[in-house]
Amino acid sequence: MSMKLPFFKTKKTKVEEENELDNIPKHVAIIMDGNGRWAKKRGLPRLAGHKEGMEVVQKIVKTAVNCHVDILTLYAFSTENWRRPKSEVDYLLGLPKEFLHIYLPELIENNVKIETIGNMDVLPGHTKKAVRYAKEKTEDNDGLLLNFALNYGSRFEIIQAIRRLVTDIDSSKLTLDNLDEHIFSEYLYTTGLSDPDLLIRTSGEQRLSNFLLWQLAYTEFWFTDVLWPDFSDETFKKALYDYQQRKRRYGGV
Ligand code: IPE
Ligand code: IPE
Ligand code: MG
């Protein structure tokens, strides 16, 4: 298979190309932060930052496809983001529909499969509808899995997992003796997905903000001061490159 990656500025040999694709993280999770500050710096309303951030999502999806990342999980709206002014919440929850309206055909063309994690039940009807439609349209795709964390909060995820788990124990579907890490994971939103190999957070903040607390146990973290709307193909590739140099030990030697 010939792979022409934007990675390669000059023509490389096949061996060199294979080396650059070696040890690419299978699952990359990103906390896309800094939209508001990006807008403020330009004297624009915060919403303009979110809009610009949405454009960056599509750019980064393309890079992920080209670099053969398997899963890209993007933190788009947290369970705590409801604390923002209603106008901003409304705008943020309108973005999935807008994004999919513009980019779904291109995503389909690129064999991207769309999924979500988070509590969709309480999202506005138009958001749910757009997301459901995109999931249906891409369900047979087997390229990049583009996983949006929408109304996602890790603590809520763990609580809902425990609730369902206890229900299954009560109805004898599961016994307490059988409960282990693997079975517990199946009750999380991320069931069936491998844990992220690389976590990126933009905008200089170095915290998880309730993102994938269970799943990030052995993930490599990569932080940058770049604000999400300025996050580029090059910055993403720098993160991938840095990941490639890391040694993961999982508690071993
Ligand atoms: C990230 O940008 C987008 C979401 C949280 C949805 P912010 O809106 O958090 O931007 P800052 O952190 O205020 O700059
Ligand atoms: C995390 O960013 C949530 C998303 C990127 C969707 P926040 O901007 O909400 O996080 P805090 O408030 O700085 O921790
Ligand atoms: Mg923020």
Query: Can you give the residue ranges of every domain in the chain?
Result: 25-153+195-244
pLDDT (tens digit, 9 = 90+) per residue, 27-50? 999 999 999 999 999 999 999 999
Q: Which helix (H) or strand (E) holds 66?
A: helix 46-66
The radius of gyration of the chain from alpha carbons, rounded to an integer in Å, stands at 19
Kindly state if the Cβ of 37 falls inside 6 Å of ligand 1. yes
Crossing angle of helices 233-245 and 46-66, rounded to 10°: 50
Name the percent of the chain lying above pLDDT 70.
Answer: 92
Domain at 25-153+195-244, CATH from 3.40.1790.10, 3.40.1180.10, 3.40.50.620, 3.50.50.60 = 3.40.1180.10
Q: Nearest to residue 231, comparing CAs of 198, 196, 191, 202?
A: 202
Q: What was the pLDDT predicted at 21?
A: 80
Is a pLDDT exceeding 90 seen at residue 18? no
How many CB atoms are located within 10 Å of the residue 173 CB?
Answer: 10
For a mutational test of ligand 1's pocket, the pick from 30, 31, 32, 37, i.e. the residue with the most ligand atoms closer than 8 A to its C-beta, is 37
Average pLDDT (141-165) is: 98
Kindly state if the Cβ of 33 falls inside 6 Å of ligand 1. yes
Q: What was the pLDDT predicted at 57?
A: 98
Ligand 1 midpoint to CA 92 (Å): 10
pLDDT (tens digit, 9 = 90+) per residue, 203-224? 999 999 999 999 999 999 999 9
Q: Nearest to residue 239, comparing CAs of 113, 10, 67?
A: 67
For residue 191, name the pLDDT band (cuts at 50, 70, 90): very high
Name the percent of the chain lying above pLDDT 90.
Answer: 91
Identify whether the C-beta of residue 21 lies closer than 8 Å to the C-beta of residue 67.
yes
Is a pLDDT exceeding 50 seen at residue 9? no
The residues lining ligand 2, judged by C-beta closer than 6 Å to any ligand atom, are: 31-33, 75-78, 81, 205, 207, 209
pTM to 2 decimals?
0.94
33 has binding-site annotation = yes
3-state secondary structure of 39: helix
Ligand 2 midpoint to CA 30 (Å): 11
Contacts for 104 with CB less than 8 Å, ≥ 6 apart: 134, 137, 138
